[in-house]
């Protein structure tokens, strides 16, 4: 019983993190129609930013909440700026050209970030200082950690705030308009360039928050983590339907379920990968646009 | 007098997309050698009929026959090129390919060699390639496009592109030609030329022609029989003289109110 | 007949040249090695270009296929058909197994859209790598060693010529033409009688066959292989070479492989920074010439003559 409760908490915790990652990726896709291979590396960079600021702050205070809040703020601002810079330099010049060019360019950007950090900082994995204090407490037989609850709360809060932003602010509504029909939106006076920047900022914000939560579970991080994060974000987003926030959340939880259940049931970690891939193919065969994706009927 | 038989037959065909009935219980037949027009206001289901005939859509209800063969479960590439050839409302040429290449691509189903022949450059490969080039050039000649054979299709003027599209539809020697709004954007003189053109290729290539069109001048002049659709349903079918003054047809196009205040 | 005679003569000359290069000391070993790298990657890029270039599908499956081809032929060389005499057969078998997997990769391309497909093909490569890393029977993360050093400049050159011939013939047939049509407008292609599914299968089949061959060749060159070699770096290198040289072009494929391999060799001293360089090259290419240096064009005497003619015309206009 208690093991199931623990696994359930694990699942919700992991699912919410994957959901955040997938949301960030999906927003950029929905607005800029780009499979952003730089998404994971941007996540990785934000992790390092959090690390350095947190380490720095810990020399002045021992309050982990304060450190968390401040380093998160610091990292969000810098990561968002980085994302906007990338968009202006490597993506905007390609708008209107072949679609492949955007994806390939994002691969290049991802590489620069990954190898840049690798060469400038070093390949040795680092350990994130504690951002969310872990106080284990018992529910019956089950050992639950406070950190898990906080992670879940932070993730849900982020999604709620995002939802409020998208549904109740002018920029948010403009965002939805561009995602549905960019040309019509431009006729309404919505600047596409501005909205694309907003999308990248939101993506970066989600990634940074996700990074802080991710490293609370998996303490170590290294330059190559971007690849793994990319893969998780892609799968979760595709499962639910790329460009669709609800889909990203669903996909995140499906992925987490597969991972947790897979780890319990299957002997070797590889078979987990096989399971995930098999489920992905199955879902896409039945619903080629993802679980919550919209079917596009091509006009002949 | 040729014994005319139905080449195309729609038996109570319905095409439903969720709640929308694009085509609803439509039955008609087209005899061999006819020029058959399909008209109706926008959204009436005309292009849907073409899409069903080309295998793009599988009819939700009913059966479509071409040359007595039911088309319902055939993929487009099996229908096109054997029985049917079609053009598109918005010209869909392969813009970065030459005119000749556009035709060669459309001969895919008529090329009878396999990968083995390609990789080993067998006699069959060479013969087939020669044959298809000759046949393609022949069609281009008929349509007065020979001099444009090696020009990139996307660089041609609109009128020439339309003719290339028709050439491409004809190169696989279909029995039925589907023309989707061939008169779009044409003036009165051009429509007269198009009339002559359609009649000519019909006899030269031994075709049955189905025509979706908005330009009434062309429809009335060139068609043997006309099907009028409205909201996916068959309104009336008949010869041009019958359709021209048919009250229901005029109502469908102009709306009941206009009818009452007009004539 | 004269055409065939000329071709046979060129073939013999090429084989003789390869034989001389292999058996004698005319070339330094380093040069021989670089040429072999160039040739092997040329074969790989020719394969990738069929899908990413001519067919226009953004596929990242090449790392996985190369791994399958490499591992299959290596395992056969190590355990089954050990004599060097069997080398071409082992390569061929690796190629065929790779081709079979390539046909499987083709299946999602029937229904799934471009962006999703890219992710599926990425998943394929990552999955293959993951499996190889965890299956002990093929050495897990330790890899396979020692693989008999059967690759030499003769086999490499011969396979390269074969690859060029196969691709050239493929492109100038109904298959090649249909790929370009599908790239342009897949719905229209289907509606002019192209059997799109069949064409894609054939394309993926030939593409993976070549990529798998290149995998076999490189494993027998290095005498060692491990799963780590078939990850993101390989995926990205493949992309760089394709987009550098030119999509939809045989010349481009070879050119891209040549330029990148020479860069890698001459800039060996900058170590990992070559990836940053590669990334910058990639992004610049996308901004300035997304179809690559020889995109959709081929080098031929006619092409050369046309360039000369254009230059003459330009100069004539200038002088006026």
Contact A225, A44 (CB under 8 A): yes
pLDDT tens profile A168-184: 998 899 888 888 888 88
If you count them, how many residues does chain A have? 300
pLDDT at B150 over 80: yes
Q: pLDDT band at residue B1, thresholds of 50, 70 and 90?
A: very low
H helices present in chain A, as ranges: 2-32, 39-57, 64-86, 99-121, 146-168, 170-180, 182-187, 192-217, 225-240, 245-265, 269-286
A300 and B17: CB-CB below 8 Å?
no
Query: Over the range B95-120, which residues count as b (16 or more CB within 10 Å of their CB) and which as e?
Result: ebbbbbbbbbbbbbbbbebeeebbbe
Model pLDDT, residue B164: 94
The DSSP bridge pattern shows strands B208-212 and B35-39 to be parallel
Decide if B168 touches C, using CB distance below 8 A. yes
> Which residues in chain B touch residue A297, judged by CB atoms under 8 angstroms apart?
17
Using the structure block, give the residue that is written with the tokens 């279909």: B174
User: Do the Cβ atoms of C174 and B107 come within 8 Å?
Assistant: yes
Residues comprising chain C, all counted = 320
pLDDT in tens, A24-60: 999 999 898 899 999 999 999 999 999 999 999 999 8
Closest residue on chain B to C162 (Cα): B119
Q: Identify the residue among C107, C135, C290 best suited for mutation to test binding to A, counting A beta carbons within 10 A and taking the highest.
A: C290
> Which domain does A110 fall in, by range?
2-286
Q: How high is the ipTM of this complex?
A: 0.90
Q: Is B231 on the interface with C (CB under 8 A)?
A: no
The stretch A78-104 carries a mean pLDDT of: 92
- In this model, does residue B262 exceed pLDDT 60? no
Sequence-distant (6+) residues with CB within 8 A of A22 are A232, A233, A236, A237, A240, A248, A249, A251, A252
Pairing of strands B61-66, B69-70: antiparallel
Half-sphere exposure of A252 (CA within 13 A, CB side): 28
Tell me whether strands B208-212 and A136-139 are parallel, antiparallel or unpaired. Answer: unpaired
Q: How many residues in total does chain B contain?
A: 263
Burial label for A266, CB within 10 Å (0-12, 13-18, 19+), is middle
Contact A158, A20 (CB under 8 A): yes
Of residues C199 and A97, more confidently modeled: C199
Query: Between residues 218 and 237 of chain C, which touch chain B (CB distance below 8 Å)?
Result: none
Question: Bigger pLDDT: B245 or A109?
Answer: A109
Q: Does residue A16 fall inside a structural domain?
A: yes
Taking phi over 0 as left and psi of -120 to 50 as alpha, with beta for the rest, B173 belongs to left
pLDDT digits (tens, 9 = 90+) for B43-87: 788 989 999 999 999 999 999 999 888 998 899 999 997 899 999
Q: Which of C108, C122, C127 sits opposite A284 (nearest CB)?
A: C108
The 10 Å CB-count burial string (b at 16+, else e) for A136-151 is eeeeeebebbebbbbb
**Segment A262-275 mean pLDDT:** 79
Q: Is residue A294 domain-resident? A: no
Interface of B with C in 61-100 (CB under 8 A): 75-77, 80-82, 86, 88, 92-97
Taking only the tens place, the pLDDT of each residue in C55-95 is 999 999 999 999 999 999 999 999 998 888 899 999 999 99
CA atoms within a 13 Å half-sphere pointing along the CA-CB vector of A51: 19
* Residue B20 neighbours by CB distance under 10 Å: 10
Best B53, B56, B71, B76 member to test C by mutation, with max C CBs in 10 Å, is B76
Which pLDDT score is estimated for A137?
Answer: 80
Please judge whether C192 and B97 are an interchain contact, meaning their C-beta atoms are less than 8 angstroms apart: no
What domains does chain C contain, in order, with CATH numbers?
A: 31-319 (1.10.3470)
Whether A291 is covered by a domain: the verdict is no
Q: Beta-carbon neighbour count of residue A298 at 10 Å?
A: 7
- Which pLDDT score is estimated for B140? 94
- Of B139, B148, B89, the C-alpha closest to B110 is B139
- Write phi, then psi, for A278 (nearest 5 degrees): -60, -45
| Rounded average pLDDT over B247-252 | 77
* Nearest Cα residue to B92 out of C184, A263, A41: C184
A76 assigned to some structural domain? yes
The neighbouring-strand residues paired with B177 are B85, B209
Q: Are strands B225-230 and B6-17 parallel, antiparallel or unpaired?
A: unpaired
pLDDT at residue B260 tops 70: no
> Which of the 8 DSSP states describes residue A123?
S
Q: Which chains sit next to A, with 3 or more Cβ pairs under 8 A?
A: B, C
The proportion of chain C whose per-residue pLDDT surpasses 90, expressed as a percent, equals 65
CA distance C50 to chain B (A): 15
Distance CA A24, CA A207 (A): 6
pLDDT tier at A235, thresholds 50, 70, 90: very high
Whether residue A85 is contained in a domain is answered as yes
Contact residues, chain C to chain A, C-beta under 8 Å: 56, 58, 108, 111-116, 118-120, 122-124, 126-127, 130-131, 133-135, 187, 191, 232, 236, 239, 243, 272-273, 275-276, 278-280, 282-283, 285-287, 290-291
Query: Which residues in chain C have their CB less than 8 angstroms from residue B111's CB?
Result: 174
Lowest mean pLDDT among A173-177, C36-40, C254-258: A173-177
Q: Do A297 and B17 touch (CB under 8 A)?
A: yes
Residue A130 lies in a domain: yes
Mean pLDDT score, A209-226? 92
- Structurally, how many domains does chain A consist of? 1
pLDDT at A1 over 70: no
Query: What are the chain A neighbours of B91 within 8 Å (beta carbons)?
Result: none
User: Comparing A218-227, C6-15, C165-174, which segment has the lowest mean pLDDT?
Assistant: C6-15
Q: Which two tokens stand for residue B253?
A: 């196009």
Question: Which of A136-140, A295-299, B98-102, B177-181 is least confident?
Answer: A295-299
Taking the CA of residue C50 and the nearest CA in chain A, the distance in Å comes to 15
pLDDT-above-70 percentage for chain B = 95
Q: pLDDT digit string (tens) for A107-118?
A: 999 999 999 999
* B133 vs C: CB within 8 A: no
Phi, psi of A103 (to 5 degrees): -65, -45
Residue C191 is nearest to which of B54, B97, B115, comparing CB atoms? B54
| A295 is a domain residue | no
Model confidence at A240: pLDDT above 80: yes
B12-29 tens-digit pLDDT: 999 998 888 889 999 999
Instruction: Give the position of tokens 């501005």.
Output: A194
Q: What 3-state class would DSSP assign to C61?
A: coil
C173:B172 CB<8 A:
no
Instruction: Quote the distance between the C-alpha of residue C46 and its chain's center.
Output: 4
Separation between Cα atoms, residue B190 and residue A118, nearest integer Å: 67
- Residue A204 clears pLDDT 70, i.e. is over it: yes
Of the candidates B159, B112, B102, B109, the one whose C-alpha atom is nearest the C-alpha of residue B136 is B102
Check whether B263 has a pLDDT greater than 60. no
Interchain CB distance below 8 Å, A288 and C113 = yes
- What is the chain A residue with the closest CA to B87? A300
Q: Please answer yes or no on whether A300 and B47 come within 8 Å at the CB atom.
A: yes
Q: Please name the residue of chain B whose CA is at the shortest distance from the CA of residue A298.
A: B56
Mean pLDDT of A266-276: 79
Report if residue A292 sits inside a domain.
Answer: no
Q: What confidence tier does B131 reach under pLDDT thresholds 50, 70, 90?
A: very high
C7: burial class by Cβ within 10 Å (0-12, 13-18, 19+)?
Answer: exposed
Q: Looking at residue B59, what is its pLDDT?
A: 92
pLDDT tens-place string over residues B188-208? 888 888 999 999 999 999 999
* Contact status of A120 with chain B (Cβ, < 8 Å): no
Q: Do A112 and C279 touch (CB under 8 A)?
A: yes
Integer Cα distance of B97 and B91 in angstroms: 14
Q: What is the CATH number of the domain that holds A179?
A: 1.10.3470
Instruction: Give the chain C residue whose CA is nearest to the CA of A108.
Output: C279
């Amino acid at each position: 019983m208690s093991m199931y409760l623990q696994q359930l908490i694990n699942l919700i915790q992991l699912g919410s993190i994957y959901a955040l990652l997938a949301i960030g990726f999906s927003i950029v896709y929905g607005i800029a129609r780009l499979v952003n291979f730089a998404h994971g590396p941007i996540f990785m960079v934000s992790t390092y930013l959090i690390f350095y600021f947190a380490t720095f702050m810990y020399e002045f205070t021992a309050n982990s909440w304060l450190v968390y809040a401040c380093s998160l703020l610091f990292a969000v601002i810098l990561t968002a700026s980085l994302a906007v810079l990338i968009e202006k330099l490597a993506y905007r010049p390609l708008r209107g050209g072949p679609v492949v060019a955007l994806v390939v360019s994002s691969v290049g950007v991802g590489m620069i970030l990954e190898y840049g950090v690798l060469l400038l900082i070093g390949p040795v994995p680092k350990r994130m200082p504690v951002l969310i204090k872990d106080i284990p407490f018992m529910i019956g037989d089950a050992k639950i950690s406070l950190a898990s609850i906080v992670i879940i709360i932070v993730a849900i809060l982020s999604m709620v705030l995002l939802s409020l932003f998208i549904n109740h602010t002018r920029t948010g509504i403009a965002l939805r308009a561009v995602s549905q029909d960019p040309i019509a939106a431009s006729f309404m006076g919505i600047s596409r360039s501005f909205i694309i920047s907003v999308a990248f900022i939101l993506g970066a914000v989600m990634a940074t928050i996700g990074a802080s939560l991710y490293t609370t579970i998996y303490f170590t991080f290294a330059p190559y983590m971007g690849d793994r994060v990319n893969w998780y974000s892609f799968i979760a987003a595709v499962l639910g339907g790329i460009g669709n926030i609800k889909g990203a959340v669903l996909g995140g939880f499906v992925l987490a379920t597969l991972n947790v259940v897979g780890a319990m049931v299957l002997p070797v970690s590889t078979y987990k990968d096989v399971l995930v891939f098999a489920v992905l193919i199955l879902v896409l065969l039945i619903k080629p646009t993802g679980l919550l994706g919209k079917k596009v009927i091509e006009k002949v | 007098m040729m014994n005319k038989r139905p080449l195309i037959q729609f038996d109570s065909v319905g095409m439903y997309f969720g709640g929308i009935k694009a085509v609803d219980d439509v039955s008609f037949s087209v005899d061999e050698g006819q020029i058959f027009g399909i008209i109706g206001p926008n959204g009436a289901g005309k292009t849907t009929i073409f899409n069903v005939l080309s295998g793009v859509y599988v009819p939700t209800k009913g059966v479509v026959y071409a040359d007595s063969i039911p088309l319902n479960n055939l993929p487009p590439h099996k229908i096109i090129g054997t029985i049917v050839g079609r053009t598109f409302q918005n010209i869909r040429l392969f813009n970065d390919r030459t005119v000749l290449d556009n035709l060669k691509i459309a001969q895919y189903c008529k090329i009878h060699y396999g990968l083995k022949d390609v990789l080993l450059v067998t006699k069959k490969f060479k013969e087939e390639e020669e044959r298809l080039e000759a046949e393609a050039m022949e069609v281009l000649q008929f349509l007065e496009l020979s001099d444009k054979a090696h020009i990139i299709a996307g660089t041609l003027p609109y009128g020439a592109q339309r003719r290339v599209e028709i050439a491409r539809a004809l190169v696989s020697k279909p029995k039925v030609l589907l023309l989707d709004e061939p008169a779009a954007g044409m003036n009165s003189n051009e429509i007269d030329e198009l009339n002559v053109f359609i009649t000519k290729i019909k006899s030269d290539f031994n075709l049955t022609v189905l025509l979706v069109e908005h330009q009434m001048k062309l429809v009335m002049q060139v068609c043997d029989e006309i099907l009028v659709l409205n909201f996916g349903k068959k309104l009336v079918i008949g010869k041009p003289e019958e359709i021209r003054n048919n009250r229901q047809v005029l109502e469908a196009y102009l709306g009941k109110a206009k009818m009452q205040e007009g004539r | 007949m004269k055409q065939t005679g000329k071709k046979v003569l060129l073939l013999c000359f090429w084989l003789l040249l390869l034989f001389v290069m292999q058996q004698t000391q005319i070339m330094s070993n380093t040069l021989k090695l670089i040429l072999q790298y160039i040739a092997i990657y040329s074969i790989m890029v020719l394969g990738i270009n069929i899908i990413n270039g001519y067919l226009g599908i953004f596929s990242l499956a090449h790392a996985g296929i190369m791994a399958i081809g490499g591992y299959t032929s290596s395992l056969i060389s190590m355990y089954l058909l050990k004599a060097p005499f069997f080398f071409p057969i082992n390569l061929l078998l690796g190629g065929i197994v790779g081709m079979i997997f390539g046909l499987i990769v083709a299946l999602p391309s029937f229904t799934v859209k471009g962006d999703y497909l890219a992710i599926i093909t990425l998943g394929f490569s990552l999955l293959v790598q993951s499996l190889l890393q965890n299956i002990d029977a093929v050495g897990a993360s330790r890899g396979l060693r020692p693989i008999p050093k059967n690759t030499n400049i003769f086999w490499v050159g011969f396979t390269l010529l074969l690859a060029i011939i196969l691709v050239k013939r493929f492109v100038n047939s109904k298959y090649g033409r249909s790929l370009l049509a599908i790239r342009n407008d897949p719905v229209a292609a289907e509606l002019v009688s192209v059997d799109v599914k069949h064409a894609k299968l054939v394309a993926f089949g030939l593409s993976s066959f070549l990529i798998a061959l290149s995998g076999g060749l490189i494993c027998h060159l290095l005498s060692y292989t491990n799963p780590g070699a078939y990850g993101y770096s390989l995926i990205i290198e493949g992309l760089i070479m394709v987009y550098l040289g030119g999509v939809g072009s045989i010349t481009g494929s070879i050119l891209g492989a040549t330029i990148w391999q020479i860069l890698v060799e001459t800039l060996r001293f900058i170590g990992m920074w070559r990836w940053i360089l590669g990334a910058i090259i990639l992004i610049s290419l996308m901004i300035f010439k997304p179809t690559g240096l020889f995109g959709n064009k081929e080098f031929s005497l006619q092409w050369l003559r046309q360039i000369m003619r254009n230059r003459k015309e330009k100069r004539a206009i200038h002088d006026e």
